[in-house]
Amino acid sequence: MTGFSLNRRHLMISATAVGALAFASKTTAQTPPPSPLRLWYDRPADEWVKALPVGNGRLGGMVFGGIAVERVQINEDTFYAGSPYNPTNPKSREGLPQVQKLVFAGKYAEAEKLANQTLISQPIKQMAYQPVGDLIMLFPGLDNTSKYERSLDLSEGIVVTEFNAGSTRHRREVFVSATDQVMVVRLSGDKGKPVTVDLSLSTPQKADIETVDGDTIVIKGISPPQQGIEGKLPFELRAKIIAPSGTLTAREGGVYVSGTEDVVILISAATGYIKYNDISGDPAARNAEVITKAAAKGYAALRAGHAADYKRLFGRVAIDLGSGDNAALPTDQRIARFNEGRDPGLAALYVQYGRYLLMSSSRGSRQPANLQGIWNDKLNPSWQSKWTLNINAEMNYWPAEACNLHETMEPLLCLVEDLSETGAKLAKDMYNAPGWVAFNNTDVWRVATPPDGAVWALWPMGGAWLLQNLWEPWLYNGDVAWLKRLYPLMKGASEFYLATLLKDPNTGYMVTNPSNSPENKHPFGSSVCAGPAMDNQLLRDLFAHTAEAAKILKTDATLAKACLAMRAKLPPEKIGKAGQLQEWQGDWDMEAPDIHHRHVSHLYALYPSDQITVEDTPDLAKAARKSLEIRGDDATGWGIGWRINLWARLKDGNHAHDVIKLLLHPRRSYPNLFDAHPPFQIDGNFGGAAGIAEMLLQTHRGRIELLPALPSVWPQGSFSGLKARGGFEVALDWRDGQVTQAAISSVRGGKTRVVWGKSALDLTLRAGETVTLKGQAGKLVRA
Ligand code: FUC
Instruction: Give the tens place of pLDDT for each residue, 335-386.
Output: 999 999 999 999 999 999 999 999 999 999 999 999 999 999 999 999 999 9
pTM: 0.96
Cβ(375) – ligand 1 distance below 6 Å: no
What residue's CA is closest to ligand 1, atom 1? 388
* Ligand 1 contact via 610 beta carbon (within 6 Å): no
d(CA 424, ligand 1 centre) in Å: 25
Q: What is the dihedral of CA 548, 553, 557, 563, to 10 degrees?
A: -30
Give dist(CA 129, CA 81) in Å, integer.
6
Q: In this structure, are residues 177 and 309 in contact, taking their beta carbons and an 8 Å threshold?
A: yes
125, 129, 386, 392, best to mutate for ligand 1 pocket (most atoms within 8 Å of CB): 392
| Residue 204 confidence (pLDDT) | 98
Q: How confident is the model at residue 45 (pLDDT cuts 50, 70, 90)?
A: very high
In terms of C-beta density within 10 A (0-12 exposed, 13-18 middle, 19 or more buried), how is residue 513 classed?
A: buried
Gap between the Cα atoms of 198 and 172, Å rounded: 15
Q: Average per-residue pLDDT in the chain?
A: 95
Mean pLDDT of 516-521: 98
Q: How far apart are CA 225 and CA 295, in angstroms?
A: 35
Confidence at 192, pLDDT banded by 50, 70, 90:
confident
For residue 26, name the pLDDT band (cuts at 50, 70, 90). Answer: very low
Segment 117-138 shows an average pLDDT of 98
The reply to whether ligand 1 has any atom less than 6 angstroms from the CB of 681 is yes
The CA 388 to ligand 1 mean position distance, Å, reads 7
CA distance 547 to 560: 4
Check residue 34 and give its pLDDT: 59
Over residues 280-290, mean pLDDT: 98
Ligand 1 atom closest to the Cα of residue 440 is 7
**What's the CA gap between 80 and 174, in Å, rounded?**
25
User: Which stretches within 501-634 are classed as H helix?
Assistant: 533-552, 557-567, 618-631
Mean pLDDT of 665-677: 98
Is residue 617 over pLDDT 80?
A: yes
Report the side by side order of strands in the sheet with 750-756.
Answer: 697-698, 703-706, 750-756, 759-765
CB of 208 within 8 A of CB of 195?
Answer: no
Asked if residue 742 has pLDDT above 70, the reply is yes
* Residue 362 near residue 57 (C-beta atoms within 8 A): yes
pLDDT band at 536 (very low <50, low <70, confident <90, very high): very high
pLDDT at 33: 52
The DSSP-derived string for 482-509 is HHHHHHHHHHHHHHHHHHH-EE-TTT--
Task: Render the burial of 376-387: b for 16+ CB within 10 Å, e for the rest.
Answer: bbbbebebbbbb
C-alpha of residue 415 to centroid of ligand 1, in Å: 19
125 within ligand 1 shell (Cβ under 6 A): no
- What is the structure's pLDDT at 13? 28
pLDDT (mean) for 255-272: 96
Q: Is the pLDDT of residue 737 over 70?
A: yes
- Does 697 contact ligand 1 (Cβ within 6 A)? no
Reported residue count of the chain is 783
Q: What are phi and psi of 542, to 5 degrees?
A: -60, -45
- Using pLDDT thresholds of 50, 70 and 90, give the confidence band for residue 18: very low
How far, in Å, is the centroid of ligand 1 from the Cα of 671? 22
181 close to ligand 1 (CB < 6 Angstrom): no
Dist. CA 248 → ligand 1 center (Å):
48
Tens digit of pLDDT for each residue in 554-564? Answer: 999 999 999 99
**Residue 193 — very low, low, confident or very high, per pLDDT cuts 50/70/90?**
confident
